[in-house]
Structure 1
């Protein structure tokens, strides 16, 4: 009994260590799980810190260390009343998936009614919108999950070195026949539009240098006229790739991938490195009854263009991205738009968001894992799923 008592004391005292912020550090609650209404998912330091020191709530009131979080970001932050918490995943798909999984299976939180706000910066397609804009996605597409050939070795009649997996021809607009299951995720379109409406109440940040840079996208063809506007709130989709790419040809190729993978419904808009990985972890959590996949909001603010303006090289577009002047307002707009979303949900919790927003569209992955019929895909994914499940049953 004395040994058990000592172990209980040790666990109570040392299972959560200070995160170094100077704020209180929570020990995992012994009798009840933490039940946040909102969870902000940030990817790296500037995205995270824009939420710290704000007047609405203090996210550093509680800092909770969990096994399996990023070594760079070992603590989850929560407001004093635990209504709003923040997870920092680390950048890239592997960091995102492993960190979100650590949160879900920690047994520290009850996330069954929590709304997740995936809030990060991104590149933006100048055919769709300007930098410093705030975007809300319905589809997240893993555009780099394809066959890749060096562009210097492709046939003259090929438009790109990217081809769908399972392809035996050089045509890029065929649906992949080799399906992994993470190619496309679709989230609640009704919630997406509600979040965008909340965000439109924000006064978006901009900069003089960003305004001047956007003017360079004006041309006689008008192809990039959308890029010359002031920042705005957009409903358009996001692409995930660990590779940080730059250039018109890659942008056009991945725009085609987005259309193909979503059966023409998706609008290639922003570029980032984490969202499909985060969504796969959340989907598996939903299958385990830990989260509600219809309570996910994908918000990305535009820090730079994914391709150069006419007369500029892809190298200049990437290597001098800071000269585009949009990074600072993009970080700021994560807070300015995001806080409107959070307040809109919290202020209308009882009788509204508490019970959830019913999706009228399909919600889930390409395999239909959560039930329902995906409104994208070729049918090959059903064959793949049946074959795998049948093979597994045969072994068991």
Structure 2
């Protein structure tokens, strides 16, 4: 807990004798037993129904894990949660975007039905991927989450000639402001470092998994001439995720994201994936940890890549955006949804099935 909080420092009598007041039933009734939760699986969206149709991030967990019991989820966009009482695994769909994630996580953690102080949290969702890092269909465990949504922005038509892009830290006036503003300030939290030992343990547990591939994915990645990582088959990897609500696209924006990750991690981070909700996931856990309700040292972020975040040589950013709007650019959508479950469920099942081992001792590589 201390590591994440430090790095989120960036890593809620009168005289007469009267009859006694009636005793309310709630004062004498025993407290309702909490629903035990070993692992919380956090997804962000579903397509159509929760079962029986085209799967989003949520459906595979319900059908395959399985999570047969339905529970109401007040205060969330999706409205219901699913639960496996034997393994004590709970799953939610937060809704897309950081606002939905923050609201859903806060509602869950404050829900009086649960005691989540020893629960593990596994965010398993799809993302865009940097072709300089990897390929579509890959599964990437994130050591760090970088806030890509909080910045000053100069309009591209007014960017000074010696600037790499128009983004500066909120407390700075240049893209490379030195010394770098603090990771946690009045402006917000800019970087979270997840438990390194737990993240490495999850990676080691899953790195040998063979991920799904397809002819469409092969054709898509073959277009990325000059990007060797993009042309490899999908695999399980480790790399940082940049989190922000804007769905940006293009080579220049990708260059900014790579720089932004390096800047906020003191050149230690490597930009791998881009998604919306991760910073809100970390923020909610960090804030509720201050009240002793959760342990953010027990959090993991897994992102599987449904698409590249920039076009291949010969295609413009606008053309790629049009393809994606028409769902032509998401050849890895179903493979990435499947990979999120395939990889994430190995970790979730291991934690839940060996609770005697992991309830009081967080796993880490080498332990």
3-state DSSP of counterpart to 2:237:
strand
- 1:58 paired residue among 53, 66, 74: 66
Distance 2:104 2:283 in 1: 12
Distance 1:31 1:158 in 2: 59
Provide the residue aligned with 1:32 in structure 2: 33
1:1-396 aligned at under 5 Å gives the runs: 31-45=32-46, 46-54=56-64, 57-59=65-67, 61-70=68-77, 73-81=78-86, 83-169=88-174, 171=176, 175-176=180-181, 179=185, 180-219=187-226, 224-321=227-324, 322-324=327-329, 325-350=331-356, 352-357=357-362
Distance 1:312 1:230 in 2: 22
Distance 1:244 1:273 in 2: 8
Range with greater deviation from structure 2 (196-205 or 291-300): 196-205
Closer, same or farther: CA 356–319 of 1 in aligned 2, 3 Å: farther
Provide the residue aligned with 1:377 in structure 2: none
Is the Cα–Cα contact under 8 Å of residues 209 and 236 in structure 2 kept in the other structure? no
Corresponding residue pairs, total? 329
Is the Cα–Cα contact under 8 Å of residues 176 and 263 in structure 2 kept in the other structure? no
> Post-superposition shift, 1:316?
2.0
Closer, same or farther: CA 97–172 of 1 in aligned 2, 3 Å: same
Closer, same or farther: CA 356–315 of 1 in aligned 2, 3 Å: farther
Closer, same or farther: CA 358–206 of 1 in aligned 2, 3 Å: closer
Q: Residues 55-75 of structure 1, C-alpha deviation per residue, up to 9 Å, x if partnerless?
A: xx431x3222143122xx111
Is the Cα–Cα contact under 8 Å of residues 128 and 226 in structure 1 kept in the other structure? yes
CA RMSD of aligned residues (A): 2.4
Closer, same or farther: CA 155–282 of 1 in aligned 2, 3 Å: same
> Post-superposition shift, 1:359?
7.1
Return the structure number with greater relative CO, CA threshold 8 A, min gap 6: 2
Q: Residues 310-360 of structure 1, C-alpha deviation per residue, up to 9 Å, x if partnerless?
A: 11111222221333411110001011111111122234332x322232779
Is the Cα–Cα contact under 8 Å of residues 173 and 260 in structure 1 kept in the other structure? no
Structure 1: gaps (5+ residues): 9-28, 361-396
Is the Cα–Cα contact under 8 Å of residues 58 and 79 in structure 1 kept in the other structure? yes
> Post-superposition shift, 1:173?
7.4
Provide the residue aligned with 2:5 in structure 1: none
3-state DSSP of counterpart to 2:274:
strand
> Post-superposition shift, 1:171?
4.0
